[in-house]
Amino acid sequence: MSLTGIALIIIAVAFCILVLTLVPAILAFKRTTESVTSLSEMIKTELKPTLQELTEVLSELKTVGGGIAEHTDDVLHFMSALGETGTNLQTINQSVGVVTNILNTTSVWATGAKVAGKYMLDHYLKKRGGK
């Protein structure tokens, strides 16, 4: 055999080894592309309804958010009225305290005047009766 023949045999063997190693790689690549294709199909079928539901939920949230924004003024008005009511109740409580204090003072003075009047009457009657 000549040198050219040996080189051709080495090239043929190398080519066969290359083909034998590439075939499993090509088959694995083919399986991978089929898997990616099926995954893509599944994502398309599952993702579209999910996106539609998400869009509906977002529109409902916008509606609810708008409703909340509309009633914020009502809540602020209510809180303001509640604050005014608290202030008015405090004023009424202070007024009741003042009136109670005045009534207690008046009651003490009335009791004192009653006792003093009774004492003076008893003293006057004793003086008159004693003569």
Q: What is the pLDDT of residues 60-80, one digit of tens each?
A: 888 887 777 777 888 888 889
Q: What is the pLDDT of residues 87-112, one digit of tens each?
A: 989 999 999 988 888 888 888 888 88
Give me the domain span that covers residue 55: 1-98
pTM: 0.40
Q: Report the candidate in 112, 91, 74, 11 with the shortest Cα–Cα distance to residue 120.
A: 112
Q: Is 4 part of any domain?
A: yes
Euclidean distance between CA atoms 27 and 70, whole angstroms: 63
HEC letters along 63-88: HHHHHHHHHHHHHHHHHHHHHHHHHH
Q: Report the candidate in 28, 9, 7, 29 with the shortest Cα–Cα distance to residue 17.
A: 9
The tally of domains found in the chain comes to: 1
Q: Is 55 part of any domain?
A: yes
Q: Is 110 part of any domain?
A: no
Residue with tokens 């998400």, as numbered in its chain: 54
